[in-house]
Amino acid sequence: MAGRPRPQAHSSSASTRRRERWLVVLGIVLHAVYMLSIFDIYFKSPIVHGMAPVPPRLSAPPAKRLVLLVADGLRADKFFEPDERGRYRAPFLRGVIEEKGRWGVSHARPPTESRPGHVAIIAGFYEDPSAVTKGWKANPVEFDSVFNQSRHTISFGSPDIVPIFCSSLPHCTWGSYPHEYEDFATDASFLDHWSFDQFEGLLNRSLDDVKLRQLLLQDKLVIFLHFLGCDSNGHAHRPYSSIYLNNVKVVDEIAERMYNLMESYFNDNRTAYVFTADHGMSDKGSHGDGHPSNTDTPLVAWGAGIRSPKFLAYTDKPDDGFRFVDDHRHDMPTPQNWALEGFERVDVNQADIAPLMATLVGLPCPLNSVGNLPSHYLKLSKSDEVEAVLANTKQILNQFLRKSEQKQSSSLYFKPFKPLVNYSSVLDRIEDLISARDYKTAMKYSEELRIMALAGLHYFQTYDWFMLMTTITLGYIGWMANLILHVLQSYTTFPANLLKRTQVYPKNTSMKVYIGGCLFMGLSSIILLLEKSPPLYHAYVFMTIFLWTRIVQNYEFMKSAWRELFNMPFKYIMNLLISSVAALLILEFLVMSFFDRKLYTWCFLALGILASVCGAFSIEASPAVAIYTWLACWFLSVFTLMPAEIPENNNLVIFSGALIILIAMASRWATINTTTFWLYLNRANKQAPKSSMLFSVQVILISVSSIMVWLTTSHRSQHKELHPLHQLINWCVAGFAMALPLFSPCSVLSRLTSIFLGFAPPFLLLSIGYEAVFYSAFALVLMGWIFLESANLFCSEGSNSSCHSSLADGSVYGYDERCLQLSDLRIPLLFMILFNVAFFGTGNFASIASFEISSVYRFITIFSPFLMTALLIFKLFIPYMLVICTFSAITKIVRIPRIGCYFLVILLSDVMTIHFFFLVQNTGSWMEIGNSISHFGIVSAQVVFVLLLFALTNIYTKDIEVSSRQLTSRKFM
C-alpha cells in the first residue's frame, strides 16, 4: 500500500485543517461556558438578606413556648387510617383532633426529601435551587428560621437534620446520634426514643441546674424533636410493613409522653404543640417525587393559642379554586375510613407551618419565609388575627422590596413590578381600616397584598431570564450557523465564479467587521459592569457577539450562496426543505426518547420495514440484504422494552457468546466470498492464512470468556468471593482480546468483524443478563447499515463496467474524498439514532446508578469505587465504540470527509441541546431536576464526547482500506 499514490483529499489543505482545529476548540469552550448558564438562570438562590424582622403587634403572644415534633417519612394516610382490626394507630393524636386542637394535611412540594421538607417547615421557604451545586446537603446560603428568631431553641434528632438549623446558633442546645445508629437492618424506632430520652434527661438535669431551669422558663422557647424511625423503616421494610405501621404507634406514644412531660414540668397551659412530617413514603419505600403518598403529610396542632375542634354539620364543601404547591385542589374530600368528616379539616402548604409557629410564640416570621399564615388554626381576637396576617404580609413584602431595591440599584433600565408600584398606599389603607375596626376588609386587603408580593418575588427571581435565555439561544444559533458556513465552504462544491466573488470581499471588510464586533463587545461590557453583572454574564455575551461577528464577516459568501440557492432547480429546493423538516422531526423524536426509551421499539420496527423497502426497490440490492436488515432492526427493537434494571440471567450471557461466534462465522463467510458485491466491500483478501489464524484466536477467547462467565458466577455464588486465578484470567482475556483487532486485515468487513470480536470478551465478562444479547443485535444492525450503504454505492456506480477489472484486483486508490451532498445528511442522522440507542439500549447513561454494580464482580469484588465506576463506564462505552467504528468505515466507503460529518453530527446534536436547555427544571423531585440537568449536559458535551471517541476508535479504523471504482476527483453538489 505504501507505494500506491494517494490523491489529495478535498478537505486536507493546511488552512482547512487549521480552521477545523480552531472550530473544535471554539466548540469545546462555547459548550463549557453555556453549560454553566443553567446555574445562573434556573438555580439562582431566591434568598436575600438585609430585611428587618416584622414582629406581630399582638396584645400578648398566644403561647410562651412551642414544641415541634416531626416524624420523618410519615404518610398522612397511614397516620389517619385504622389498622386491619379497626383500631387507629395514633390514638393520642386522634384524641387531640377530636377534643383539643385542629388538624389537616400539610402539602409538601417536591423534592419531597428531608432537607427541603424541614427547611419549609422551620424556615418557611421551599428548596433553594442553588443547593444543587452542594449536593442538596449543605446550606448554599444562610437563611433565617423560627429557631433563629427564638430566644432559645432545644433540638435533638438526626445528624443529617438538626445541625442544618442549630450548628451555627449560639442560643441553641442540641444533640444528634452518630450516623452508625441509622442501621437499615434493624427496627429504627429506637432512634425516636433516643430523641425523647435526650430531652427528658435535659429536663431532669434542670432540676439541679439553676441556669438551665431559668433558660427553660424563658418565653419564646422552641423545642424541636426529630423522629427518623418511620423514614428508615419505610426505606428498609416499605410503608405497609408491620415495622413501619408499628412505628406510627411509637411516634404517637412519644407525642403523648412529650405532652404529659411538658404539662407536668411547666404546669401553666402556655405550651403550643405542632406535630407533622417532612414528607411521606411511596409503596416502594422511596420518596422525592410529587406523588400524593410523598407530598401528603399529617398536621396536628393543639395547646396554647390553637383553636378547639370545629364540628361540621355537613362535609360537602365547595372547591374555592385554591391550589396547593403540589397542585392538589383545596379541600379534597377526606377518606371515609379516616372517620374525621365531622371535624373541620384545614389543609396548608408545608411552608405555612413556619409563620404559624412564629405567631404562636409572638416571633417575627422568618425573614426568608414565603408561607401564608393559616389563621384558621389560631385562637386570637379579631384585631390580633388581622395584625398577625398583616405582619406576615409585611415580611413577604419586605423580601419583594429588598429584591426590587437590589435590582434597581444595578439596572440602567429598571422595569418595576407594576401591581405593587403603589404598595405604600395599600398599607396605609389597611392601617386605616384597622383603626376603624373594619377587620374583615383589612384582612381581605392584607391577603391580596400578600398574594401580589409573592408574585413580585417570582418576577424578580426570573428578572434576568429573558435576557440570559435570549443570549444563550442566539449563541447556540450563531454557533450552528458558523458550523453550516464551515461545512459549505470546506466540504461542498460551489461554482468557481461564486468562490472567486466571495474571496475578494472578506479581505476588505473583515477588519471593519471585527472592529465593529469589538466595539459592540466593549459597549456590552460597560453596560454589564454598570449593572454589576456576574463575570459569567460577560462570557455569555462576548461568546454570542463573537459568533455573530464571524457570521457577519461571511455576509458576502452567504449572499452569494443565497443567490445560488435560488438559481437551483425547484426540485432541489423542495428536497432541501423536506430533508430539513425530516431532520428536525427525527431530532425531536430523539429528544422524546430521553423520557421514554420504548419509543425506539417503534422506531426500529418502522426502520426495519423502511430500510428493507428502500434496499429492495430504491437501491435494488439483493433480497437477502433487504430481509437481513429488516430482521436485524426488528431484533434490536425488543431491547428497549426490557426493564432498565437488568435482571441477572447468566444463561443469556453464555447464549450471547455462542451467538457472537455464529455472527462472526457468517461475516467470515462474507469476507472470503468471491461475488462482485462482497469484493466491493472486502477487497481481494491476500492475507487469508494470517486472518484465519487471528479469527480462530478471537473465537477461542470468546469461548473462554463464556466459560469464565459460568465458572466465576458459580464459584462466587458458592464461596462469596472471586478466586484470584479467575480474576487474572478475566483481566488477561479482556485485555488481550481488545488488542487483536489491530492485527486484522484492513478490508472493511474483516476489520469491523475483528473489532466486534475484540470487544465481545470484556463486554460478556461485564454482563449479567440481556445486555449481552443486545451487543449482538446492535452489531447486526450496524452491519446492515454498512450493507445498505455499500449496496447503494455499488448500484449507483454499476453502469461503469470498466471498473470491474480493477475491483477484482482489489485495487485501492487511497481516500479520494468527494464533497458532501444533501443526501449525505442521512449518515449523521442515522449515526445520531444509533448513538442514542447505544445510550438507552440497556439502561440510562444519564445515571450510572441505573446500572447493576454486580456486573463488575467478575473482575473485582473488593469495594473500590474508582475502579468499579471505571469498569461500568467502560462497559457503557463499548456500544459507542462499535457505532463510531462503523460510522468511520461508512465515511470511507462512500468517500466523504469524516470531520465534515463530525461537524454535521455536532450541528444536529445542538438542535437537541437548545431543546433540552428549555427543558431544564428547578422544581420537582431531585431525580427530575437531576435528569433535566444531565440530559442538557450530556447533549452539550457531545462536542467533546464524540470527538474523544473518534480519536479513540481511530486507532482501529485508520488503516481501513476500501475498494475503489477508480473514482477520481469527481465531486457532486
943-953 per-position pLDDT tens digit: 888 888 888 88
Would you state the cell numbers that stand for residue 772, as one nine-digit string? 449481552
Share of the chain above pLDDT 70, in %: 82
Q: Give dist(CA 857, CA 837) in Å, integer.
A: 26
Mean pLDDT of all residues in 626-652: 81
At residue 295, what is the residue type? Answer: T
Give the whole-angstrom CA distance, residue 353 versus residue 374: 8
Query: 335: cis peptide before it, omega within 30°?
Result: no
State the average pLDDT over residues 385-414.
92
Quote the CA–CA distance of 219 and 398 in Å, as a whole number.
26
Which residues fall within 8 angstroms of residue 716, CB to CB, at 6 or more apart? Answer: 722, 857, 861
The shares of helix, strand and coil residues in the chain, as percent rounded to the nearest 5, are 65, 5, 30
Q: What is the mean pLDDT of residues 515-533?
A: 87
| pLDDT per position as a tens digit, 447-478 | 999 999 999 998 998 888 889 999 999 999 99
C-alpha cell belonging to residue 336? 371515609
**477 dihedral zone (left: phi>0; alpha: psi -120 to 50; beta):** alpha
Instruction: At 646, list the grid cell.
Output: 437488568
pLDDT in tens, 227-286: 999 999 998 888 999 999 999 999 999 999 999 999 999 999 999 999 999 999 988 888
Q: Which residue has the cell 423534592?
A: 111
Measure the CA dihedral 353/359/362/367, to 10°.
Answer: 70
Determine the pLDDT at residue 681. 58
Sign of the alpha-carbon dihedral angle for 178, 181, 184, 189: negative
- Cis, peptide link before residue 111, omega less than 30° from 0: yes
Does 439 have pLDDT greater than 90? yes
**What are the backbone angles phi and psi of residue 817, rounded to the nearest 5°?**
-70, 135
Q: Please give the grid coordinates belonging to residue 516.
A: 465593529
Instruction: Give me the amino acid identity at 637.
Output: S
d(CA 363, CA 395): 12
Q: What span, in angstroms and rounded, lies between the C-alpha atoms of 346 and 612?
A: 64
pLDDT at 504 (0 to 100): 45
Lowest mean pLDDT among 281-290, 329-338, 568-577: 329-338
Q: Mean pLDDT throughout 416-425?
A: 92
Residue ranges per structural domain of the chain: 67-367, 383-462, 465-567, 597-612+622-796+816-921
The conformation of residue 140, written as its DSSP 8-state character, comes to S
Class of domain 67-367: alpha beta
**Three-class DSSP category at 225:** strand
Lookup: cell for 719 = 464461596
Confidence of residue 193 (pLDDT cuts 50, 70, 90): very high
- Residues contacting residue 728 through CB under 8 Å, at least 6 positions apart: none
Q: From CA 605, how far away is CA 607, in angstroms rounded?
A: 6
pLDDT score of 700 more than 70: yes
What is the mean predicted confidence (pLDDT) over 184-197?
87
**Partners of 157 in the β-ladder:** 176
Whether the predicted pLDDT of 809 surpasses 70: no
Helix (H) or strand (E) holding 286: none
Nearest to 117 by CA among 278, 336, 316: 278
Question: pLDDT band at residue 861, thresholds of 50, 70 and 90?
Answer: low
Whether the per-residue pLDDT at 914 is higher than 90: the answer is yes
Please give the average per-residue pLDDT across 912-938, as a whole number.
80
Cell 455472527 identifies what position? Answer: 663
> Residue 122: is its pLDDT beyond 80?
yes
Of 43-52, 466-475, 493-502, the range with the highest mean pLDDT is: 466-475
- CA-CA distance, 274 to 299, in Å (whole number)? 7
Q: At what angle do helices 688-719 and 724-739 cross, to 10 degrees?
A: 150
* pLDDT tier at 647, thresholds 50, 70, 90: low
Q: In this structure, what DSSP letter does residue 336 have? A: G
Count the alpha carbons within 13 Å of 215 in the hemisphere toward its beta carbon: 18
Confidence band (pLDDT; 50, 70, 90) for 155? very high
Residue by residue, DSSP assigns 229-254 as HHHHHHHHH-TTSHHHHHHHHHHHHH
Q: pLDDT at position 805, please?
A: 37
| Amino acid 320: pLDDT | 44
Weakest mean pLDDT among 41-50, 175-184, 495-504, 708-717: 495-504
Predicted confidence band of residue 800 (pLDDT cuts 50, 70, 90): very low
**pTM, entire model:** 0.76
DSSP string, 807-847: HHTT---TT-PPPP-GGGGHHHHHHHHHHHHHHHTTS-TT-
pLDDT at site 905: 92
Average pLDDT along the chain: 82
Phi/psi for 598 (5° steps) reads -70, -15
State the DSSP string of 753-776. Answer: HHHHHHHHHHHHHT--STHHHHHH
Looking at the predicted structure, is the pLDDT value of residue 765 above 50? yes
Q: Find where cell 482501529 sits.
A: 956
Sign of CA dihedral 961, 962, 966, 972: negative
